[in-house]
Amino acid sequence: QSVLTQPPSVSAAPGEKVSITCSGGSSNIGLHLVCWYQHFPGTAPRLLIYQVHKRPSGIPDRFSASKSGTSATLDITGLQTGDEADYYCGAWDDNLRAYLFGTGTKVTVL
């Protein structure tokens, strides 16, 4: 059901920056707040970013996000080996009357 498209994978060396895009449409990202989730296999997913760019307590400012039109972007700066995980965007869709998760992006630290 997901119509939020992410790249399957991104990678960079420690200390560098990666950006993950989330492409949606006018009925989801274009209308609603975007969240980002971090998921380490074998553990519960964690809210990383909410209301487009806000961080819950405990999330370092190396993680930042933005939205433009029907797309959103998550940036991770100062990449660390502990950042290796799967990342998902999420937004409500008015047409589907459903919450959508993005297709997911695996971040690899080289």
The residues in 88-107 that bind another protein, with binding defined as CB under 8 A, are 88, 90-92, 96-104
Q: Phi and psi (nearest 5°) for 107?
A: -95, 125
Residue with tokens 């459903």: 98
- Binding mask 33-72 toward another protein (x if CB under 8 A, else -) reads x-x-x-x---xxxxx--xx----x----------------
Asked whether the beta carbons of 25 and 4 are under 8 A apart, the reply is no
Return the beta strands (E) in 24-70 as ranges: 35-39, 46-49, 63-68
**By the rule CB under 8 A, 32 interacts with another protein:** yes
Site for another protein, rule CB under 8 A: 1-2, 32-33, 35, 37, 39, 43-47, 50-51, 56, 86, 88, 90-92, 96-104
